[in-house]
Amino acid sequence: MEWQLPQQERVYLRELARRQAQIAALPLNARRRQLWYDLNDTQPNTRPPIVIETGTFERDFLPDSLYRCATPAGRAIEGQLLRHLRNHELIDDDKVTPDTFDIGWQVEIDELGVEIPIRRVQDAEGVPTGYEFQHPIKDLRRDFQLLKPARCRVDREGTLAWKGFLEELLGDLLPVAIRTGVFGCAMLTHRVVELMGMEAFFLAMYDQPDEVRRLMAYLRDNALRVMRWAEAEGLLRANTGNQVSFGSSFNLTAQLHLPSE
């Protein structure tokens, strides 16, 4: 695939990348990086870092009016850069501004072989406000057969092409790095709630305990199937650097000796 950006978007995106690289090099970020190392490596008397999860108010933090790029590729790159720049300028919490431009593997994972439609509603301003899962499992014993083993595919060629495009655009300012993704769902009860609903799940624990055990074992094995697929495909990367877990915990540690990327 080829991505074309107008010259004005290229110039603008490079300026954003230059600003991010300059911020990442500030002594402030070195101190914050060390703060996370001290916390995760259990150094005594370490101040707990403070992190604001801006994703919970995304439409206010990154409103559409802020974007200057018109192309889909340009907007995707712009959004990633702006998120770090605005966090530094407006939030100023203990996140460490990255000195790389990170991307993930382009993967397709059909986790359960069954569609789980979602009905969404909007408020008077057209802002998504609520949703509910349209549970495919109505009767656990009868509908269990709907579930199928996960099917996974990685587009290496597409991923490396995207990486090459970004390197040509920004690589002299921010090195482009492929990071590990989340492969396989370890939150098994979350999947159950999507599949059949929380009330039905709780009742099934009493009415159909053997079927519940069967379902949980299936979800466990299926999650492991995806994880082992990602491992076998070589998609896993060490995430002991400035990568995040669960939105507010950054992984910087010197105690896990893993090869760096």
**34-48 confidence digits (pLDDT tens):** 999 999 999 999 999
What digits encode the pLDDT tens for the residues 177-186? 999 888 988 8
CA-closest candidate to residue 151, choices 232, 234, 235, 222: 222
Percent of the chain with pLDDT over 70: 98
In this prediction the pTM is 0.89
Of 6-20, 46-60, 71-85, the range with the lowest mean pLDDT is 46-60
The Cα 187–Cα 27 span in angstroms is 38
- Model confidence pLDDT, tens digit, residues 63-100: 999 999 999 999 999 999 999 999 999 999 999 999 99
Q: Provide CB contacts within 8 A for 112, sequence distance 6+.
A: 147, 148, 150, 191, 195, 222
- Alpha carbon distance 157, 178 (integer Å): 13
Asked if 210 contacts 230 with a C-beta cutoff of 8 angstroms, the reply is no
For the chain, which residues make up each domain, given as ranges?
A: 1-99, 106-154+181-236
Q: What is the percent of the chain with per-residue pLDDT over 90, rounded to a whole number?
A: 85
Distance of CA 44 to the CA centre of its chain: 31
User: Residue 176 — very low, low, confident or very high, per pLDDT cuts 50/70/90?
Assistant: very high
